[in-house]
Structure 1
């Protein structure tokens, strides 16, 4: 296979109230809202993208916040933990911050030389902050809420829960990932040179219940493709291998294909380009509701349907 992704592009989850979602990820975790748009398949629902200053691939956690969505259930056949990378020696600071915000956290634990702090967002989505012992060169978003020396650098890894590992492991090898380590029933695979933003853990839990994708769970995990031509080539290879893959879909800020790994988790391959400044300047990212051209004729109806979203001034400091 010629497929060799160099890491995670984004993780998309399902949330509840959009204002509560924005308050937590912008104010508590200190991320930037880099795009306020809608679910292209359900325009009556926001699609909110959180990441670094420009929303670079590998920093993004995105949400479909359905206010009336039923509560999901973590289990096999889905991504069960989304982890962010933070500087070494920052977890004590983060534990104090989260506890001060009313968030229950785990003890700081160590696995494979990495300290980690696990907690849940207001809708029950399981998150972790991981202090990777090596330097993460990605710049944090300078937001005024979280000091730069502690701030999130981007995605660290995702954890997928499966009943059996063989077929899932083979799928990740087809995507160009390499098996790098095992800790009991947890197998780690890395893309490219490895490190934060390029890892997936496969957790083998045969006795766990089947997951239910709804509020508080991950909808899909996206991997990076450098450009559309490469994506098309990868799609053809996946189809030749017998995988059921969607056509290439225009997501305005990237192009996407979707398919399921054998354990059940929905995967995506998304292009790095064109990026989030294609329809608004860098300094104004996330400030206004952006719609793709095919939804612009329905803007008035969409804006009337969506709940009002109040963003902190720090999301666009030069404009505040």
Structure 2
């Protein structure tokens, strides 16, 4: 029983229209599912991914108009990485960010990889990380856009950084419960702080890493627009999902219990520093209710919400994604 890598990250946005423009028209990702937050059906839930909506490539957003700012600190998924093929791709993206006025930093090394950090319009801290032929979890399939060459397209999720006040409890959950292994460390790029520690699961590589940043000097984060709500990890199938549910019980870790999301099955729990983790199945996927060719073009609802479609649509604000 082994987690395969990162499944998705879910982030908060205060303006879904502008969010859609940024992630599809600037970053070139595909909107593979336009649906609702199943826990609050008055809110949209948008899923961006590779060309086929493969697990390990998904960045999702809950739309909450009027949401306040995020404030950086601990108990925070502080950065989210997106994979590209090579360092040459980072040079392409530097020029593209200049073209669109995107705030970015110089190319820097993180965990031995060339990376390019940037921010979206709500301050979400994102990083492009170059694979450069590295072995590990397989990348996704790029979504074709005329203005972004396929060789430079985003091809999946890279490492997430967890900023915590004390690293050891989080590391304990990752290694003792979730089966992650230590693979190295690298210096903090933000001054004289402890090294950032790198843990991996499955086949390893960029798509299977969690980076732990100890920052006892920071206050607790306050999540708002641009803040990361949770990170999910890949469970290959329902059989192992059931085993993970049992494992959390054995370790007396409080969890949501089994949650049916239709496109995948989920388990939610908080690690000791308070960051929300999710375990999500790779199956059945996003082509359950829409043809692959037209995914994301209409409001999709799982079968258990479909009888309430008229009521749900009446309560949703108009959302024009052009």
Q: Is the pair's TM-score, using the shorter chain for normalization, greater than 0.5? A: yes
- In 2, are the aligned partners of 1:52 and 1:153 still within 8 Å (CA)? yes
Partner of 2:149: 147
- In 2, are the aligned partners of 1:113 and 1:133 still within 8 Å (CA)? no
Does the alignment pair 1:226 with 2:236? yes
Does the alignment pair 1:243 with 2:253? yes
Give the superposition deviation at 1:192. 1.1
1:66-105 equivalence runs, <5 A: 66-88=64-86, 89-105=88-104
Secondary structure at 1:117 match in 2: strand
- In 2, are the aligned partners of 1:235 and 1:257 still within 8 Å (CA)? yes
Partner of 2:160: 158
Aligned residues: 310
Give the superposition deviation at 1:137. 4.7
For residues 17 and 116 of structure 1, what CA distance do their matches in structure 2 show? 27
- In 1, are the aligned partners of 2:262 and 2:302 still within 8 Å (CA)? yes
1:182-197 equivalence runs, <5 A: 182-184=185-187, 185-197=195-207
For residues 317 and 24 of structure 2, what CA distance do their matches in structure 1 show? 18
Partner of 2:57: 59
Q: Deviations over 1:162-218 (max 9, x none)?
A: 111111111111211111001242000011121121111000111112111221100
Secondary structure at 1:90 match in 2: helix
Give the superposition deviation at 1:295. 2.1
Q: Deviations over 1:24-80 (max 9, x none)?
A: 000000000000000001111100000011111100000001111111222211200
Distance 1:212 1:142, change over 3 A: same
1:1-320 equivalence runs, <5 A: 3-88=1-86, 89-135=88-134, 137-173=139-175, 174-184=177-187, 185-312=195-322
Q: Which moved further from structure 2: 132-141 or 252-261?
A: 132-141
| Unaligned stretches of 5+ residues in structure 1 | 313-320
- In 2, are the aligned partners of 1:84 and 1:154 still within 8 Å (CA)? yes
**TM-score scaled to structure 1, two decimals?**
0.93
- In 2, are the aligned partners of 1:85 and 1:153 still within 8 Å (CA)? yes
- In 1, are the aligned partners of 2:50 and 2:155 still within 8 Å (CA)? yes
- In 2, are the aligned partners of 1:31 and 1:143 still within 8 Å (CA)? no
Give the superposition deviation at 1:146. 1.5
| Unaligned stretches of 5+ residues in structure 2 | 188-194
The structure 1 segments of at least 4 consecutive aligned residues displaced by more than 4 Å after TM superposition are: none
Secondary structure at 2:284 match in 1: coil
Distance 1:159 1:271, change over 3 A: same
- In 2, are the aligned partners of 1:53 and 1:141 still within 8 Å (CA)? yes
**TM-score scaled to structure 2, two decimals?**
0.93
- In 2, are the aligned partners of 1:118 and 1:128 still within 8 Å (CA)? yes
